Structure 1
Amino acid sequence: MKKGIGHILPSSEAIFVDRGVTKANQLLENWNGEDASRFGLVGLPLSKTSISASGAAGAPTTIRKALSAFTTYAIEDEIDLSPRMVTDFGDVSMHVTNLVECHQRIERSVAELYRLYPDIIPILLGGDHSISCPSLKAFAQARGRVGVIQFDAHHDLRNLEDGGPSNGTPFRGLLEAESIKGEDLIQIGIRNFSNGMVYHQYAQEQGVKVWTMKDIQHNRIEDIIAESVKSLENKVDSIYISVDMDVLDQAFAPGCPAIGPGGMDSQTLLSAIYTLAQHPKVHGMDIVEIDPSLDVRDMTSRVAAHVILQFLLGKAKAGN
């Protein structure tokens, strides 16, 4: 703790410090310009590409802050994450008005990250879901054939003609750019009254595997994950997780711009991430679609912070 005057502490310091507790935000180390940990966190604060009104650009800061609400110790696994540091590279600066330039900046920046650190495991914080298109393009260029496991209420396969690249089009953009194959995209949590029929048909035509909320209600999430990984592991070089927080029911994620009933509960999502992270081919993740201005006591950002911790825990558990 930094030296202060009397009991006056710098504003960034915790008011109470317990020597027996390490807060999860202490896992983040600012990049020193040279070395990097195995895990790298990057903020992608873009939400002007959202179809609905969204302040998701503020989420990277809020999620980082939410980590301070939790400790590094997982009591159920008896694992302390504190040795597994995460290099925080900061946020990609966005152009004020040019949305295509914003996407290009994301792709160039993430590609440069992989050039400098070829084996780094990225944890990318959106922003809206449009950030997944440029970031996954860079990921695929660096890591070969990529399988994507997407947690989402929506297909995000809208056409690119009506409104250009948006948070409704990232996986359509990736498929049309041939950055991923339809057979390598698995969507989990798709639910009623959140998609158009034409886009469900497009998913089927492209060979996308879709697990609806009804499927989740009738199957253990661990079994769904096991089947999903099994279908990908022998044909892809890397697996990437994309977590759209609106996969959760509105009761668990009030800070999502596109809230709705009938979604997943938070424990199911956390179990899925924990299980996925243990696979050695899972090499990256993004978390998107949180608007802190709509949230209640940072509930949604706190779930996102737990997603990060479960991801790290799964990697620690598997020793990979």
Structure 2
Amino acid sequence: MKSFLYPKINPPSFTWVRPESDKVDKVHEWIQPITALTDPERSKDTEVVILGVPLSRSSISASGASEFPESFRRSWKNFATYNLDDDVDLSELTALDAGDVPMHVTNIQKCHQNIIDAAAAVQQHFSNPTVCGIGGDHSITAMMVKGMHLENPDEKIGILQFDTHFDLRDMSDNGPSNGTPMRNLIESGVVEGINMYNIGLHGFYNTKDLKLYADENGVNYFTLRAARKKGIEETVQQCLEELSSKVDIIYLTVDMDVLDIAFAPGVPASTPGGMTTEELLEGVLAAGRHPKVKAMDIVCLDPLRDTKDQPTVKLGTHVFLTFLTGVMLR
């Protein structure tokens, strides 16, 4: 069954059988697929909109991150809507799975344009949504932000990025890949470098020229070592305070390669020395609590690389639910 957002957004690749009773305990019972709606107009005030972005052909390293949206949906049955740590029940939010952005088999440029169009369509239909993009590789972030910018041209957008990498590679060498989304946004004039904040850089995974480019363009960044000394939550709050004084909308992007390889085996560019699970969840929760954070994405998670019990997929879903916990705590 097609949805009212088709063909800009395809119906979800996987949906759960809806419960007959009104009792909701698990995430798969709570999030409503768009195909279950009978009146599109009544959905305009939906609080959380999920958009699958199954693209990984634009990844520098071989990646099956395009498989995460479906694995993400299938993992929902493992999670309750109630968060014991913060005593909140996410089922009090209205959440809609809008489906997946359609992807061209070979044309990456077409895929990227489709993401822009889909992100804009979400902004057009829903009145004030918190948009959660489920990638896909990190190239999707630039396109999601561009789509948001199209529908909010007078509002300044800032970026809070959890990442091991700057993602500021030269576009002439790398094109619009997962190594260039932040440079893409700077060079396209959509986001100023001074309104980008990166937390989690560490070790030997960025060349010096990328640091120089970041410095020249005013990009703000905190190495993982510096963030740990200050405190992850305190660092995130500082970034949000500075951003909120300069921009109207904050977009959170979580590159799962920010995690240490011990915690995230299902990540193409995973490294030693990265964040712990606890640190990432602490940072995401703090970000979710800020009222100007209107959208987020989770990128570079490859279920095909994950181990048998899919701990990285489950962690990706945990990140999503933790972010929404922050939204509820506002």
TM-score normalised by the chain length of structure 2: 0.89
Q: 1:59 aligns with which of 45, 63, 68?
A: 68
Match for residue 105 of structure 2?
96
Q: Distance in 2 between matches of 1:117 and 1:310?
A: 23
Match for residue 96 of structure 2?
87
Aligned-pair identity in percent equals 39
- Give secondary structure in 2 for the equivalent of 1:211: strand
- Are residues 1:128 and 2:137 paired? yes
Question: Which structure 1 residue ranges, 5 or more long, are not aligned?
Answer: 1-10
Question: Which structure 2 residue ranges, 5 or more long, are not aligned?
Answer: 1-14
Q: Distance in 2 between matches of 1:262 and 1:215?
A: 13
Q: Distance in 2 between matches of 1:116 and 1:270?
A: 30
Superposition deviation, residue 76 in structure 1: 2.2
Does the 8 A contact of 2:163 with 2:255 survive in 1?
yes
Does the 8 A contact of 1:27 with 1:84 survive in 2?
no
Match for residue 150 of structure 1?
161
Q: Distance in 2 between matches of 1:20 and 1:138?
A: 36
Q: Distance in 1 between matches of 2:205 and 2:86?
A: 37
Does the 8 A contact of 2:138 with 2:181 survive in 1?
yes
The number of residue pairs the alignment matches comes to: 306
Superposition deviation, residue 118 in structure 1: 3.8
Does the 8 A contact of 1:56 with 1:128 survive in 2?
yes
**Partner amino acid, structure 2, of 1:161:** S
**Partner amino acid, structure 2, of 1:295:** D
Q: Distance in 2 between matches of 1:313 and 1:185?
A: 24
**Partner amino acid, structure 2, of 1:199:** L
Does the 8 A contact of 1:118 with 1:142 survive in 2?
no
Q: 1:289 aligns with which of 300, 304, 307?
A: 300
Match for residue 312 of structure 1?
324
Range 73-82 or range 90-99, more displaced? 73-82
Q: Distance in 2 between matches of 1:311 and 1:214?
A: 23
Q: 1:163 aligns with which of 174, 179, 182?
A: 174
Match for residue 137 of structure 1?
146
Q: Distance in 1 between matches of 2:147 and 2:17?
A: 36
- Give secondary structure in 2 for the equivalent of 1:251: coil
Q: Distance in 1 between matches of 2:98 and 2:16?
A: 19
Superposition deviation, residue 263 in structure 1: 0.1
Moved over 3 A (4+): 11-14
Superposition deviation, residue 264 in structure 1: 0.2
Range 117-126 or range 166-175, more displaced? 117-126
Trace 1:154-233 onto structure 2 (pairs within 5 A): 154-233=165-244
Q: 1:25 aligns with which of 10, 25, 28?
A: 28
Range 111-120 or range 179-188, more displaced? 111-120
Task: Report Cα offsets for 1:104-148 as digits up to 9, x if no partner.
Answer: 010011111111124111000000000011111112233410110
